Amino acid sequence: MPKKIIKRFLPDHQTIKQQKVLSMFGTVLHDPNLWHLNRKSAAGAFGIGLFFAWWPVPFQMWLSAAMSIPLRVNLPLSIATVWITNPFTMPPMFYGAYLVGVSIMGSPSEDFQFQLSWEWVVQSVETIGPAFLVGCAVCSVVFGLAGYFGLNYMWRWSVRSAWKKRQAQRAAKK
């Protein structure tokens, strides 16, 4: 079941190989393991994607792709999972990461108002930056591991359920 659901949302590997942005990876993208969808590959890709989704940088997809290639996990799923952080989900996710960082560091929560200015960025790095980065690091590891083990468990459960269903159908035919 997870394989069918995941395949429905993933683009064709030929389309991805033709992207100019990914040309920096060269012929490495021709490795069939990067496009194969099995339990190990999907769980690893999901974990990597969730890991980098919590990084507050604008090039999360490149980082996810760069990590997927040497680990030989499903490249499209890894890149797609990073998009859990998008313009709509980033504010609550990163505010939650900030709160996690505040609780871990034991520092008081700072009140802040977002402003689109360089002065605000510099001032925020000094005040809320350390707690925010610690929270992002912790959330990155926790959600990456939870995604890996969660998808791995869900995949095994799905296969086990399908197998039991087939056994029951065979027994009913006899």
CA-to-CA distance for 101 and 137, rounded, in angstroms? 9
Predicted confidence (pLDDT) per residue in 54-94, tens digit: 998 888 988 998 899 889 898 888 988 999 998 899 888 98
Residue 1 has pLDDT above 60, yes or no: no
Q: How confident is the model at residue 37 (pLDDT cuts 50, 70, 90)?
A: confident
User: How many whole angstroms separate alpha carbon 41 and alpha carbon 46?
Assistant: 9
115-134 pLDDT per residue, tens: 667 777 777 777 888 888 99
Instruction: Output the CA torsion 140→142→143→147 (10° steps).
Output: 130
Instruction: Provide the whole-model pTM.
Output: 0.78
| Number of residues that this document lists for the chain | 174
Examine the pLDDT at 45 and tell me if it is beyond 90: yes
| Percentage of residues in the chain having pLDDT higher than 70 | 83
Whole-angstrom CA distances from 167 to 4, 162, 173 are 21, 9, 10
pLDDT digits (tens, 9 = 90+) for 20-32: 766 666 777 777 7
